[in-house]
Chain A
Amino acid sequence: MSLAELLGDALLVAGAAFFFAGTVGLLRFPDVYTRLHALAKADNLGLGLIVLGLLLHAPGWATGIKLVLIWLLALAASATVGFLIARRARRHGIAPWRAGDGE
């Protein structure tokens, strides 16, 4: 097994770990705004690391560009949808959780 493949595998595992952290955040965070933080950041980083890991296994430029494109699309989608959801939630008067409210 070459060094690049080993590094790729390590990146894949790290990516999955961030997805796990995102899911834990989704389960534990108290309100919709903080859950959006968890999904927008941890999951996108997880996807980014997985894309990077697969790039090290990837057989060629076309596949590589496609992988990066998937990540960019996912980034744009999360940023836009996260913004829209947060805006809607605030306009509908969903109160943010404050420290000291208790879960």
Chain B
Amino acid sequence: MTLTFALAIFLLLNLIVALVRVARGPTPADRLLAALLFGTTGSAILLLLAEAMGQPSLLDTALVFALLAAITGVAFARRAWREEAPDDEPR
């Protein structure tokens, strides 16, 4: 087991734990954090996979992840979140 692959597994575990937390909420703002998570952790996993699997073209996918984090984040914040979801009580 190479170090890069072990770290990729560790980061995936991190991502999943964080995603479960983000999906719980409680406010819509907490859910939007998923965009940030994938931008950083997702592209880090892809970078490590590119090294571990010897596939440099995965770097392009990581680039798209980082770019999309910005686009979905802006779409989230500017377009979708006009009011509180009915079942979301702000703390």
Contacts and interface: CB of A to CB of B under 8 A. Distances in A.
Are A and B in direct contact (Cβ within 8 Å)? yes
Interface residues of B, number: 45
Interface in A20-53: 20, 22-23, 26-27, 31-32, 35-36, 39-40, 43-44, 46-47, 50-51
Interface residues of A, number: 48
Nearest to B48: A50
Contact of A43 (B29, B41, B60, B70): B41
Query: What DSSP secondary structure best describes chain A's contact surface?
Result: helix
Given A32-B30, A43-B41, A63-B56, A77 B18 contact: no
A95 B90 CA distance: 8
B44 A47 contact: yes
A16 B69 contact: no
A74 B21 CA distance: 21
Contacts of A92: 29, 81, 83-84, 90
A73 B32 contact: no
Interface string A6-25: 00010011011001101100
6 contacts: A19-B41, A32-B27, A50-B47, A78-B39, A92-B84, A94-B91
